[in-house]
Chains A and B, each alone.
Chain A
Amino acid sequence: MTDTLVPFEDVLKDFDPALGLEVHVELNTATKMFCGCPNEFGAEPNSQVCPTCLGLPGAMPVVNGKAVESAIRIGLALNCTIAEWCRFARKNYFYPDMPKNFQTSQYDEPIAFDGYLDVEVEGETFRIEIERAHMEEDTGKTTHIGGATGRIHGADHSLVDYNRAGIPLIEIVTKPITGTGAKAPLVARAYVAALRELILALGVSDARMEQGSMRCDVNLSLAPKPSSGEPGETKLGTRTETKNVNSLRSVERAVRFEMSRHAGVLLSGAKILQETRHFHEDTGTTSAGREKSDAEDYRYFPEPDLVPIAPAREWVEELRGTLPEPPSERRARLQGEWGFSDLEMRDAAAAGALSLIEETVAAGAAPQAARKWWLSELARRANDTGVELTDVGVTPAQVAEVQKLVEAGTVNDKLARQVFEGLYAGEGSPAEIVAARGLAVVSDEGALSAAVDNAIAANPDVADKIRDGKVAAAGALIGAVMKEMRGQADAGRVRELILEKLA
């Protein structure tokens, strides 16, 4: 079945979008949510399990205090109220990767609720209201073997890895986000980016979307625009929930696609089916998952094996004292320190590069130089390889080292890019790569002087122009010299030599 899509620009003529974002964050606690098994990514399947996280008969959960602490800190950073008393609840449903066939979660008594996070999109600030942040455990991970799609249908068999079962999760749920209009895709992306920045600053998770330690479900609905002059609230339309959208870019694309798809369905006179959707990275489209009604019955009830959690107010205040600077204040401070323009700052924030620039500056680079590398060369690389900037394979300290080499005249910008190529390939430190690849700028005046002489001799017309005072023409000769030197020359010094010789 193909969907009739309405061009994005046209969607807004007839409809107002409403967003709802559910973000799951895996906490980086040393152990799992309810047992002492290590919380590590990538271990041998089913090697990090015990009676409790396998749900063996008789085993019981014990709450990880560090996870509660992280949950409270996230709640506080999102300006939430922290519950004085709350409980875990069982969410009952059957699935092979659910060891107990219920997930220990929180239901009507979340640890944190009623908060907000401000995000900025193209100079406009949107206040995203947070409904709740609650604690729960992750499920195991099922891999379907055989069949074309990797999905359960058509698979020969399925493998279940329970290492992930019981890893602590915080689920952060927004209230419906309305009034974003055409900016809905950007607002969704900016919210997830800001949330990720906050989580990283809190140090409670590595928040790697591509590894699934931060996962986003995107709810979207369209409501018809109220006819002009008609006051009052618009009723929300039927929503779809696009599951596990695993990059910032995909969040934006998923919203954009679903808006076009919903509009197509609605304008054809059909109804939106309330269902989950799968997002396809390759095509930027979604496809139908399972039907999901609001009445889906998880038969929640308070987990009788756990005692209620009543965080002491003094503790909560103590944790408040450990919060990082709020993102907006931090941005203002960094902009002041770095002397960036508003536009430069916005671009850096949108790229999720603030912390990276900050660390690069801390490692000794000038702010503008740090910005330049992260937002040009490294951003291009991230985009080409489809990873987040943090996972591009180069550390802030390495960027600072490359910049030092540039400033020392050891390499120029063009050679620096080759140093980055070496870093992507894991060829060692920047200095080692320069040595191994023979990238250093030639500082032998004799060789350089000879190359300049050759260039002048080969381009007599250009040389005459320069002699006549048209200094701008020097570029052509510089290019010729650089070509002969295979780029390994300091362009500034070449220019000086040309002008000296033709004075």
Chain B
Amino acid sequence: MSWIEKTAAELADALAAGETTSVELTQAHLDRIGAVDGDVHAFLHVDTEGALAQAQASDERRTAGAAKHALDGVPIAVKDVLTTTGLPTTCGSKILEGWIPPYDATVVARLKAAGLPILGKTNMDEFAMGSSTEHSAYGPTRNPWDLDRIPGGSGGGSAAAVAAFEAPLALGTDTGGSIRQPGAVTGTVGVKPTYGSVSRYGLVALANSLDQVGPVTRTVLDSALLHELIGGHDPLDSTSTTTPVTGLVEAARQGATGDLSGLKVGVIKELAGDGWQAGVMQRFQESVDLLTKLGADVVEVSAPNFVHAMAAYYLILPAEASSNLAKFDAMRYGLRVTPDGDPSAEDVMKATRDAGFGDEVKRRIILGTYALSSGYYDAYYGQAQKIRTLIIEDFNRAYADVDVLVSPTAPTTAFKLGEKLDDPIAMYLNDLATIPANLAGVPGISVPAGLAPEDGLPVGFQILAPILEDARVYRVGAALESALVQQWGGPLVAPEVRK
């Protein structure tokens, strides 16, 4: 087995044992990117030189016995919505083409401090608006399971990079499912941590009250390792919690032993039914049965207000986004389009925004501006915040009876490129099951639950836990993962890149 097929934990062990070097691992992944990314298009920028220099430095540290972290030397890919000193950060938008940030996002700074070489920046829907990565201004990413299909979104680049063995680890961001839904449709693991437990400083905000940075990996244990590395308080982010982010790796290891006795699992009644693909529901139910077999006590719970989550989300998100995106005005950085004649500053702003933003971004700016307008605020933004409170109450009621809640991560498997591009509502519905966690700030994971019988494409299993109980999703996720992999006789591997 080549280095690229190993998990991050295995690579860390191999580095520690002196069986390989970071330069060798990093080069192997760069070679892989060179071989497959022409098809997959997971990356917007590949930093060959920088990654190898970081790998070289890591190897020198390790030789000197001064490795900084278990993952020191294990390469990683970073979603292009996180700022990186000296590396372009476009957020998948033309309006930021060529912008090189003068500062690192806190999570990026933590990766660098721990010695992880950064392979490059991954593709995404423009400003993280989308569920297919088709809204990237730089062209879509393709699903390594079927290159004619979408890899999910907005973090399709990170998920595809990991699924295609271009990177063992990646960072994503999840505002309404942008880590978990791509994880589901690419057969990878994605975690949205508790809101505030991972710094957002340097994450170019989509919707500040919903955004969260999280790990994208092929195994639950790898996510736990990365999550502990990036998590924890950041004085630069006022919304960051002071609770230490620990015990996740331990929970994943404990879960992998396969014992879930004493655990109460709630199946969310509202996240099933019409519009849910049969094969998705079948694999989901099999996984639920597996949890029972592992000793969990499974009950059905109702979260009646989840049916309103989508509506509330599509008011809160555009409202915050419309304000966040106002800063892109051609005055200080990024694209500047100067119309002919004697244009005013306002003319330049208009022309730049017209040329620099894609249709989906414009759609949401208009929606959000409208929702915040005087006279409409109470009816839209105000009502949405009330629904948000009701959804939090639904969660609280449910967690009074159960330890974790479960559902399929996405209603369907990966759809074809272009299939939903002209139907925003159909596109939005992909995030039906993932949005409630963002509205309530609770942590969630998506783990592969097998392939849907009708199309042979990956299905994701979502596990949600109460705020700051991220360890539970790792315990349950790892238990399910180890039982399933045992059943399958090995992890799921995307066929299109097995060439």
Q: Which residues of A contact B (CB under 8 A)?
A: 51, 54-63, 90, 92, 94, 96, 99-102, 158, 160, 295, 297, 299-301, 304-307
Complex Cα gap A178–B235 (Å): 47
Give B200's nearest chain A residue, CB to CB.
A60
Of A60, A94, A305, A307, which is in contact with the most chain B CB atoms at under 10 Å from its CB?
A60
Is the beta-carbon distance between A299 and B369 smaller than 8 angstroms?
A: yes
Complex Cα gap A158–B348 (Å): 14
Contact of B237 among A51, A57, A60, A295 (CB under 8 A): A60
Contacts of B374 in A (CB 8 A): 295, 297, 299
- Given A101-B327, A102-B323; A62-B332 close (CB under 8 Å): no
* B65-84 vs A, Cβ < 8 Å mask (1 yes, 0 no): 00000000000000000110
Is the beta-carbon distance between B205 and A305 smaller than 8 angstroms?
A: yes
Is the beta-carbon distance between A56 and B101 smaller than 8 angstroms?
A: yes
Beyond A57-B83, A57-B91, A96-B329, 10 additional pairs, beta carbon < 8 A = A56-B102, A57-B328, A58-B203, A62-B235, A92-B322, A92-B372, A299-B369, A301-B319, A304-B208, A304-B239
Contact of B381 among A51, A99, A301 (CB under 8 A): A301
4 smallest A-B Cβ distances: which pairs?
A101-B326, A304-B208, A299-B372, A304-B209
Is the beta-carbon distance between B201 and A59 smaller than 8 angstroms?
A: yes
- Chain A's nearest CB lies how many Å from the CB of B30? 26
Report if B428 contacts A (CB, 8 A). Answer: no
Is the beta-carbon distance between B96 and A58 smaller than 8 angstroms?
A: no
Is the beta-carbon distance between B101 and A307 smaller than 8 angstroms?
A: no
Of B237, B239, B331, which is in contact with the most chain A CB atoms at under 10 Å from its CB?
B331
- Chain A's nearest CB lies how many Å from the CB of B341? 15
Contacts of A56 in B (CB 8 A): 83, 101-103, 332-333
Report if B349 contacts A (CB, 8 A). Answer: yes
- Chain A's nearest CB lies how many Å from the CB of B242? 12
Report if B459 contacts A (CB, 8 A). Answer: no
Q: Write 29 A-B pairs (CB below 8 A) sorted by A numbering.
A: A54-B332, A56-B102, A57-B96, A57-B327, A58-B101, A58-B203, A58-B204, A58-B205, A59-B103, A60-B237, A61-B238, A62-B235, A62-B237, A92-B323, A92-B326, A100-B326, A101-B327, A102-B323, A158-B345, A160-B331, A295-B374, A299-B373, A300-B372, A301-B319, A301-B372, A301-B377, A304-B208, A305-B205, A307-B238
- Chain A's nearest CB lies how many Å from the CB of B169? 21
Give A303's nearest chain B residue, CB to CB.
B208
Give B331's nearest chain A residue, CB to CB.
A96
Contacts of B422 in A (CB 8 A): none
Is the beta-carbon distance between A58 and B320 smaller than 8 angstroms?
A: no
Is the beta-carbon distance between B327 and A55 smaller than 8 angstroms?
A: yes
- Chain A's nearest CB lies how many Å from the CB of B92? 13
- Chain A's nearest CB lies how many Å from the CB of B338? 13
Which residues of B from 192 to 224 have beta carbons under 8 Å from A?
A: 200-205, 207-209
Is the beta-carbon distance between A57 and B345 smaller than 8 angstroms?
A: no
Complex Cα gap A102–B205 (Å): 14
Is the beta-carbon distance between A58 and B209 smaller than 8 angstroms?
A: no
Interface size on B, residues (CB 8 A): 44
Contact of A57 among B101, B209, B372 (CB under 8 A): B101
Is the beta-carbon distance between B346 and A94 smaller than 8 angstroms?
A: yes
Give A51's nearest chain B residue, CB to CB.
B103
Contacts of A51 in B (CB 8 A): 101-103
- Chain A's nearest CB lies how many Å from the CB of B174? 16
Report if B236 contacts A (CB, 8 A). Answer: yes
Is the beta-carbon distance between B323 and A90 smaller than 8 angstroms?
A: yes
- Binding site secondary structure of chain B: loop
Complex Cα gap A301–B346 (Å): 24
Contacts of B320 in A (CB 8 A): 301, 304
Contacts of A57 in B (CB 8 A): 83, 89, 91, 96, 99, 101, 204, 327-328, 333
- Chain A's nearest CB lies how many Å from the CB of B96? 7
Complex Cα gap A461–B147 (Å): 122
Complex Cα gap A99–B326 (Å): 9
Contacts of A92 in B (CB 8 A): 322-323, 326, 372
Is the beta-carbon distance between A60 and B319 smaller than 8 angstroms?
A: no
Contacts of B82 in A (CB 8 A): 58
Complex Cα gap A301–B319 (Å): 9
Complex Cα gap A158–B203 (Å): 31
Is the beta-carbon distance between A94 and B349 smaller than 8 angstroms?
A: yes
Contacts of A307 in B (CB 8 A): 238-239
Give A35's nearest chain B residue, CB to CB.
B236
Is the beta-carbon distance between B205 and A99 smaller than 8 angstroms?
A: no
- Chain A's nearest CB lies how many Å from the CB of B377? 7
Report if B105 contacts A (CB, 8 A). Answer: yes
Give B102's nearest chain A residue, CB to CB.
A51
- Chain A's nearest CB lies how many Å from the CB of B84? 10
Which residues of B from 91 to 136 have beta carbons under 8 Å from A?
A: 91, 96, 99, 101-103, 105
Give A54's nearest chain B residue, CB to CB.
B332
Give B381's nearest chain A residue, CB to CB.
A301
Is the beta-carbon distance between B323 and A299 smaller than 8 angstroms?
A: yes
Is the beta-carbon distance between A305 and B238 smaller than 8 angstroms?
A: yes
- Chain A's nearest CB lies how many Å from the CB of B37? 25
Contact of B236 among A54, A62, A102, A306 (CB under 8 A): A62
Of B319, B333, B345, B349, which is in contact with the most chain A CB atoms at under 10 Å from its CB?
B345
Complex Cα gap A57–B320 (Å): 14
Complex Cα gap A123–B204 (Å): 58
Is the beta-carbon distance between B105 and A305 smaller than 8 angstroms?
A: no
Give B350's nearest chain A residue, CB to CB.
A94
Contacts of A60 in B (CB 8 A): 200-201, 236-238
Contacts of A306 in B (CB 8 A): 238-239
Contacts of B381 in A (CB 8 A): 301
Complex Cα gap A307–B239 (Å): 6
Complex Cα gap A263–B96 (Å): 53
Of B103, B200, B238, B369, which is in contact with the most chain A CB atoms at under 10 Å from its CB?
B238
Is the beta-carbon distance between A102 and B201 smaller than 8 angstroms?
A: no
Complex Cα gap A40–B295 (Å): 64
Give A306's nearest chain B residue, CB to CB.
B238
- Chain B's nearest CB lies how many Å from the CB of A497? 76
Complex Cα gap A61–B238 (Å): 7
Is the beta-carbon distance between B319 and A102 smaller than 8 angstroms?
A: no
- Chain B's nearest CB lies how many Å from the CB of A52? 8
* B297-340 vs A, Cβ < 8 Å mask (1 yes, 0 no): 00000000000000000000001101100111101110000000
Is the beta-carbon distance between A301 and B323 smaller than 8 angstroms?
A: yes
- Chain A's nearest CB lies how many Å from the CB of B145? 32
* B360-388 vs A, Cβ < 8 Å mask (1 yes, 0 no): 00000000010011100100010000000
Complex Cα gap A292–B108 (Å): 45
Contacts of A300 in B (CB 8 A): 372, 377
Is the beta-carbon distance between B327 and A100 smaller than 8 angstroms?
A: yes
Give B83's nearest chain A residue, CB to CB.
A58
Contacts of B239 in A (CB 8 A): 304-307
- Chain B's nearest CB lies how many Å from the CB of A56? 7
Contacts of B203 in A (CB 8 A): 58
Complex Cα gap A256–B99 (Å): 52
Is the beta-carbon distance between B323 and A99 smaller than 8 angstroms?
A: no
- Given A60-B238, A305-B239; A101-B103 close (CB under 8 Å): no
Is the beta-carbon distance between A94 and B326 smaller than 8 angstroms?
A: yes
Contacts of B207 in A (CB 8 A): 304
- Chain A's nearest CB lies how many Å from the CB of B230? 15
Contact of A58 among B201, B238, B323, B326 (CB under 8 A): B201
* B247-284 vs A, Cβ < 8 Å mask (1 yes, 0 no): 00000000000000000000000000000000000000
- Chain B's nearest CB lies how many Å from the CB of A33? 13
Contacts of A101 in B (CB 8 A): 326-327, 329
- Chain B's nearest CB lies how many Å from the CB of A422? 48
- Given A57-B89, A299-B372, A304-B208; A62-B105 close (CB under 8 Å): no
Give B325's nearest chain A residue, CB to CB.
A101
Is the beta-carbon distance between B332 and A99 smaller than 8 angstroms?
A: yes
Complex Cα gap A304–B441 (Å): 13
Contacts of A100 in B (CB 8 A): 326-327
